[in-house]
Amino acid sequence: MRSCLLLLMALLLASCASQHKAKDLDTRVDMAAPVRGDSVVGVKDGDMVYQRKVSMSEELRRLELDVYDLEAKVMGGPRYLDNRGLYGVLRDCRVQMGDTNNNGDGKIRWTEAREYVTAEDDFTAMGVEDKKKIIGVSEEFLKDRLTRFRGYKSILEKRQDEYETKVKMCQLDLAAQKKKSKSAQDSE
């Protein structure tokens, strides 16, 4: 009974250990042969392995840049130096659809609200550092930030496909509407 209780407590304590604690990793690979700059093939513990080793700061930087670039391409707007993005292209196309010069009804077509995916970073604490500088600090576990940005990237890739399709459909409708208008003018 007592050993079961001790075993249960050990399991409980192990489950309480933070998943965010830094771990020492053994990255030694015997007979390593490079595949790319950050990866090798070789032997580890008698098994043939492929190992990719990256600096996590570089991985996070690359992921963040990919996400912000993708959001600028998809959403555009004031957050991205007034880049139109696919959202702006769609909005402009829908405005042209309603334009009476294009055989429209003079009404602007509905366009959904621009909703950014990424959150603005906010400071969790503000204060004075070393009695010299006023600073703001935000902290987040690295693993959580990587997971969050991978989620942003997935959402933005879906939105990119969606907006590319909507833009193409609008452009086709606008071209057909202009052709119909031209045909009507030619027959007069």
pLDDT by residue for the chain (188 residues), tens digit each? 566 555 555 555 555 567 788 888 888 999 999 998 889 999 999 999 999 988 999 999 999 999 999 999 999 988 888 789 999 999 999 999 998 888 888 888 887 888 999 988 777 888 898 988 998 888 889 999 999 999 999 999 999 999 999 999 999 999 998 888 777 777 76
Which among 33, 30, 26, 53 has a CA at the least distance from the CA of 43?
A: 30
Check: CB of residue 152 under 8 Å from CB of residue 117: yes
Check: CB of residue 85 under 8 Å from CB of residue 77: yes
pTM above 0.85, yes or no: no
Residues 6+ away with beta carbon under 8 Å from 66:
153
Quickly tell me which residue has 């942003």 as its tokens.
Answer: 152
Which H or E run includes 49?
A: strand 47-52
